[in-house]
């Protein structure tokens, strides 16, 4: 189903949606646009969370993640904190200007997501979160629909219209961020360009939960640095694809 820009759920971002003039492909310019949008944006509160996790919140492993309002491609809002009763939540950031994101979107996200949904049912939730399109535009309903069609994504696809997701999971990330949360939305693992590790991290997290053991610190001996985890294709728009 197609939705016109005029029906977009939050009019305050109309100028950043269908009518926006593409900005320069510069992360600094993108962050300025993001910050301006955040200042002006008043999100729909959406449905009340089922069990809001207690604060304080933080971006580090062991912290409980802060809340954020995401929207599906129909413009329906959902609070991240509404997932706090789920045993394992996997969040992946899709910034389409990033070539590793495009590659992972093209089948890999759905393959991993569907496998864990089949194995664990309601105990698992995987979500792809769009934070920008290929021209560094902040996402809206139209962009969400376009990316779902372009990459044939069947799993849960939401967009973050103010691009604040990365702020919830640590400083220094610019694109292609993975985060695994355990029950109560405690951050268990985060990594930029972590596609080759996420399957194993999900497996280890469920094994630890089912054995009653403490979930190990998944960051140990894994992060070799973002540039070593990525092989950029010729279609990369700039060196910033590597996480600048």
Please report the pLDDT score of residue 32 as a whole number.
66
| Sequence ranges of the domains in the chain | 24-51+62-215
Using 50, 70 and 90 to split pLDDT, how confident is the model at 45? Answer: very low
Task: Give the CA count within 13 Å in the CB-facing half-sphere of 226.
Answer: 20
Helical residues (DSSP H) of 181-237, grouped into ranges: 195-211
Whether residue 94 contacts residue 60, with contact meaning beta carbons closer than 8 Å, is answered with: no
Given this model, what pLDDT does residue 244 score? Answer: 37
Tell me how many degrees the CA angle 3-8-11 measures, rounded to the nearest 5. Answer: 160
CATH architecture of the domain with range 24-51+62-215 = 3-Layer(aba) Sandwich (3.40)
Against a cut of 0.85, is the pTM above it? Answer: no
Q: Alpha-carbon distance 21 to 15, whole Å? A: 9
- d(CA 15, CA 145) in angstroms, rounded, equals 18
- CA 89 – CA 218 distance, rounded (Å): 15
47-51, 66-70, 92-96, 220-224: least confident range:
220-224
d(CA 80, CA 52) in angstroms, rounded, equals: 9
Round the average pLDDT of the chain to a whole number and report it. 78
Question: Span 88-115, mean pLDDT?
Answer: 96
């Amino acid at each position: 189903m197609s939705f016109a820009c005029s029906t977009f759920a939050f009019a305050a971002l109309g100028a950043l949606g269908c009518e926006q003039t593409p900005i320069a492909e510069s992360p600094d310019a993108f962050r300025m646009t993001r910050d301006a949008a955040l200042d002006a944006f008043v999100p729909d509160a959406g449905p009340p969370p089922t069990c809001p996790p207690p604060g304080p919140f933080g971006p580090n492993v062991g912290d409980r993640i802060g809340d954020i309002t995401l929207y599906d491609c129909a413009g329906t809002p959902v609070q991240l904190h509404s997932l706090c009763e789920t045993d394992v939540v996997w969040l992946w950031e899709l910034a389409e200007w990033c070539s590793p994101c495009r590659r992972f979107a093209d089948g890999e996200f759905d393959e991993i997501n569907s496998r864990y949904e089949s194995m664990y049912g309601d105990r698992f939730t995987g979500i792809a979160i769009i934070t920008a399109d290929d021209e560094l535009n902040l996402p809206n309903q139209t962009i969400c629909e376009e990316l779902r069609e372009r990459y044939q994504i069947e799993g849960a696809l939401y967009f973050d219209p103010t691009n604040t997701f990365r702020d919830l999971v640590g400083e220094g990330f610019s694109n292609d961020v993975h985060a695994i949360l355990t029950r109560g939305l405690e951050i268990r693992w985060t990594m930029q360009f972590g596609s080759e590790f996420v399957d194993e991290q999900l497996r280890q997290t469920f094994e630890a939960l089912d054995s009653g053991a403490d979930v190990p610190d998944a960051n140990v001996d894994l992060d070799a640095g973002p540039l070593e985890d990525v092989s950029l294709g010729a279609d990369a728009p700039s060196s910033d694809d590597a996480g600048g």
